[in-house]
Chains A and B, each alone.
Chain A
């Protein structure tokens, strides 16, 4: 009945995961990196939930006179907790970005590396001056 769809959801999952990896790796801006990681994370959610679905089924809530098949509740449980944990860890990432901005005055990766190199250079210079 549903042959024309096939593994469409899984293909979308693969594309979203590729997009997430690409954003997280290629963009220098830390906020954009975090958004990329979120896309990556949500693609995994999509994979799990898709694997639990039965076409024409219903949500795993029991009721009287239920005739349809029930979709698999187990992926729902795993992803439900993963979403809340995901936002908690994202907030840690955002807090780190805030601290980085305060310390370096920028959230661009290359500028941070530059500032760090200058800082280390200066430390070495100060040590040499002391010696």
Chain B
């Protein structure tokens, strides 16, 4: 077997594990378990990315998805003090219909796409060779991803950094005021009392 075939085989195994973890997330009611499975999902995704030659992306996914994201989710769980989902898993028609329609549309649209990993696919022959050929001449850094990220598409990255900045400010605004516990919960309790009175 060639290197490519081994890669494809490992790819299939990892994607299978990814599917198993996804269905675990759907079925599980324990929120702590769900957050942990989401972390495992991110790690598996990082492994798939490594296999698919996206080392920078895998690096980011492992640090962000499995590290920071899990810590934030656990912090949220500690704050909301909710261990289990209230409603057990049951089949729901409308979401399933939407999901099935989405899947059908995606499969229909994917018919024209080339097989995964072919070297003569349209997106491999038009733009990519330009970056691969021009980077050593114009930018001269070995990592093409960095060159494209920071130089060719620097304006795009500026926008992304602005989004992150805005998100940070947003979290600061949402969480830095003194908490008013149960502003609407108390009302609700009063409402319940009134209902009981009548």
Which residues of A approach B to under 8 Å, CB–CB? 1-19, 21-23, 25-29, 31-32, 34-36, 38-39, 42, 45-46, 49-63, 69-77, 79-92, 94-99, 101-108, 111, 114-116, 118-119, 121-122
Q: Is the CB of B174 within 8 A of A95?
A: yes
Smallest CB-CB separation from A16: which chain B residue? B22
**A31-B34, A35-B25, A79-B57 known; A94 and B148 CB under 8 Å?**
no
Say how far A93's CB is from chain B's closest CB, in angstroms. Answer: 9
**A9-B11, A14-B107, A80-B145 known; A90 and B94 CB under 8 Å?**
no
Tally the A-B contacts, defined by beta carbons under 8 Å.
Answer: 334
| B interface, over-half SS | helix
Q: Is the CB of A39 within 8 A of B41?
A: yes
Q: Is the CB of A2 within 8 A of B54?
A: no
Interface residues on B, range: 35 or more
Q: Is the CB of A18 within 8 A of B102?
A: yes
A85 to B159, CA, bound (A): 10
**A25-B95, A52-B123, A80-B57 known; A19 and B52 CB under 8 Å?**
no
Q: Is the CB of A94 within 8 A of B76?
A: yes
A116 to B38, CA, bound (A): 31
Chain A residues closer than 8 Å to B117, beta-carbon distance: 2, 5, 50, 53-55, 57
Chain B residues closer than 8 Å to A84, beta-carbon distance: 60, 64, 160, 164
Q: Is the CB of A8 within 8 A of B12?
A: yes
Q: Is the CB of B110 within 8 A of A14?
A: yes
Q: A11-B110, A72-B124 are in contact. List 19 more A-B contacts (CB 8 A).
A: A2-B5, A8-B11, A8-B116, A14-B103, A17-B102, A27-B85, A28-B85, A28-B87, A42-B41, A54-B119, A59-B55, A85-B163, A92-B174, A97-B80, A98-B80, A101-B79, A115-B188, A118-B192, A119-B191
Contact of B15 among A8, A74, A103 (CB under 8 A): A8
Q: Is the CB of B95 within 8 A of A50?
A: no
Q: Is the CB of A35 within 8 A of B38?
A: yes
A121 to B198, CA, bound (A): 15
Contact of B56 among A4, A76, A102, A116 (CB under 8 A): A76
